[in-house]
Amino acid sequence: MKSPGKPAPPGQLLRHLPSVDELIPELRREAGGGPSDAALAEAARRAIEGQRQRLRGGQAPEGGPANGPALRDSLRREALHQAGDILRADQRPRLRPLINATGIVLHTNLGRAPLSEAACEALLGVARGYSNLEFDLESGKRGRREGAMEELLCRLTGAEGAVVVNNNAAAVMFAIRLMAEGREVIVSRGELIEIGGSFRIPEIMAQSGARLVEVGATNKTRLEDYESAIGPDTGLLLKAHTSNFRIVGFTEEVPRERLVALGRERGLPVLEDLGSGCLLPVPGLPAEPTVAASVEAGVDLITFSGDKLLGGPQAGIAVGRAGWVQKLKKHPMMRILRPGKLTLAALEATLRAYLDPGTAAGALPALRMLAEAPESVGRRVRALLDALGPELRGKLDAREVETTGKVGGGALPLAELPSRAVALAPGGLSPDETEERLRRNDPPVIARIHEDRVLLDLRCVREDELPLLARALRALAGA
């Protein structure tokens, strides 16, 4: 007889592992009619393999006695449990919806702009079946992928032409390559931006095959700085919007009109990377340069994102003069960078909302959230607190507080969005633990910690998400 406490050698324990065939009938019963026998067998095999490795590693079987039929039974139950987890995990997508309670509207890590109802419908409509993606319904012949989109973009921005690619980083790289491959591109030192750690003007430049020529100082660049840098190898003047930072104080930059005039005089094109793609000023926010203003100023090509202030799907848009747009369309890179039909459908529906500027801000969730008054967010805060009831509110120490959110997505870095939040301080849980539990909820709830309290800013939380949020808070309180 072995002393209790001392585990049997792994070899002996391994004999007690269940077999795949032994687990399948019970797994099938638990899983209902869903998975095939092959999927059940695979889950069972992976669960048993996990047990084998743990036993070999000297880990004692979970809660099981050290011997005999009881051990067999314990291992079998553990394997069933784990195979069930494996099956469920296989069915749950890794990319899934969550509740954004950060108060950051265009949160890049959380997927930036939520799409409008019309955009979702358009996307689903072409997703389920076939579409005239590259088919001209008038002539019955092959058509152009982004034909309708180009017309819309020209109408909305005043540009002569437009192309759509996968994202704005691609649009910038593509435009630089087209306009200045093998040549020099002049950029102000105040505009050598980095966005989200992976978009850096100098690196994009290198990938475009152009050479960066920096001019001016970080806080001041004058027209003469550009002028004196122009040489025989210069191919392009680039202006980049400093979307995610501001140099404040003693600053000077060259207005795009003057850069365009200089370009004309010296026979050089001007490219402007606008970043956000603001088509319509958002009420209550500091003015962002609009795409139309850049077109009006005569910039040759202008690039911007589809999923920032524009409020659509991830996409990169380049608009501008017909000659340059024509060259983009014919360039072999276009084939590499072109977006898919799902993106095009959602983008077209998003752009259509702008045809009526009076209703655009109401139809596009990102704009609606950005423009919403704090008092209006506060109504959802109180609805949530009411739904919890006094006892839960007490347990969670939940109350309404004033807070400030952000635009996000590298847009309007200094703009603050006065907002309202539910502040939580559940007894027995640290702010970090509270934040983590909410994050592990299904659906995950992403909160913010501020001064030792967990804040749920409800600016980006829809009315119809409140019951889910209330359920997450009930679970948090252990109720």
Touching ligand PLP, residues 123-142 (CB under 6 A): none
Q: Which of 48, 193, 230, 317 binds ligand PLP (CB under 6 A)?
A: 193
Contact 367, 311 (CB under 8 A): yes
Minimum Å gap between C-beta 406 and ligand PLP is 14
Q: In this structure, are residues 248 and 371 in contact, taking their beta carbons and an 8 Å threshold?
A: no
Distance CA 145, CA 334 (A): 11
- For ligand PLP, the closer CB: 213 or 317: 317
Task: With CB under 6 A as the rule, give the number of residues binding ligand PLP.
Answer: 15
Q: Which is nearer to ligand PLP, 309 or 381 (CB)?
A: 309
318 near ligand PLP (CB under 6 A): no
Interacting stretch for ligand PLP, rule CB under 6 A, among 173-181, 191-199, 323-331, 351-359?
A: 191-199
Asked if 410 is part of the footprint of ligand PLP (rule: CB under 6 A), the reply reads yes
Query: In terms of CB distance, is 164 or 388 closer to ligand PLP?
Result: 164
Residue in the shown chain whose Cβ atom is closest to ligand PLP: 275
Among 78, 273, 288, 435, binds ligand PLP (CB under 6 A): 273
CB of 171 vs ligand PLP, minimal distance in Å: 8
Give yes or no for residue 290 binding ligand PLP (CB under 6 A): no
Residue number with CB closer to ligand PLP (82 or 167): 167
Q: Is 305 in the site for ligand PLP (CB under 6 A)?
A: yes
Check residue 295 for interaction with ligand PLP (CB under 6 A): no
Q: How many beta carbons lie within 10 A of that of residue 320, not counting itself?
A: 28
Query: Can you read off the two tokens belonging to residue 478?
Result: 């252990």
167 near ligand PLP, rule: CB under 6 A = yes
The residue type found at 25 is P
The CA distance from 215 to 223, in Å, is 10
Should residue 191 be labelled a site residue for ligand PLP when binding is judged by CB under 6 A?
no
Q: Which residues make Cβ contacts (< 8 Å) with residue 67, sequence separation at least 6?
A: 2, 8
Which span (117-125, 167-175, 361-369, 382-390) binds ligand PLP, by CB under 6 A? 167-175
Q: How far apart are CA 259 and CA 343, in angstroms?
A: 33
The residue (of 187 and 240) whose beta carbon lies closer to ligand PLP is 240
Please, which residue, 60 or 247, has the CB nearer to ligand PLP?
247
Which range of residues in 135-143, 168-176, 212-220, 450-458 is near ligand PLP by CB under 6 A? 168-176
By beta-carbon proximity to ligand PLP, the closer residue of 126 and 193 is: 193
Please pick, from the candidates 23, 86, 106, 195, the single residue that binds ligand PLP as defined by CB under 6 A.
Answer: 195
Task: Indicate the residue among 238 and 472 with the shorter CB distance to ligand PLP.
Answer: 238
| 237-256: contacts with ligand PLP (CB under 6 A) | 240-241, 243
At closest approach, how far in Å is the CB of 273 from ligand PLP?
5
Q: Is 199 in the site for ligand PLP (CB under 6 A)?
A: yes
Which string of b and e fits 399-429 if b means at least 16 CB within 10 Å? eeeebebbbbbbbbeebebebbbbbbebeeb
Q: Which is nearer to ligand PLP, 100 or 343 (CB)?
A: 343
Applying CB under 6 A, which residues contact ligand PLP? Answer: 167-169, 172, 193, 195, 199, 240-241, 243, 273, 275, 305, 316, 410
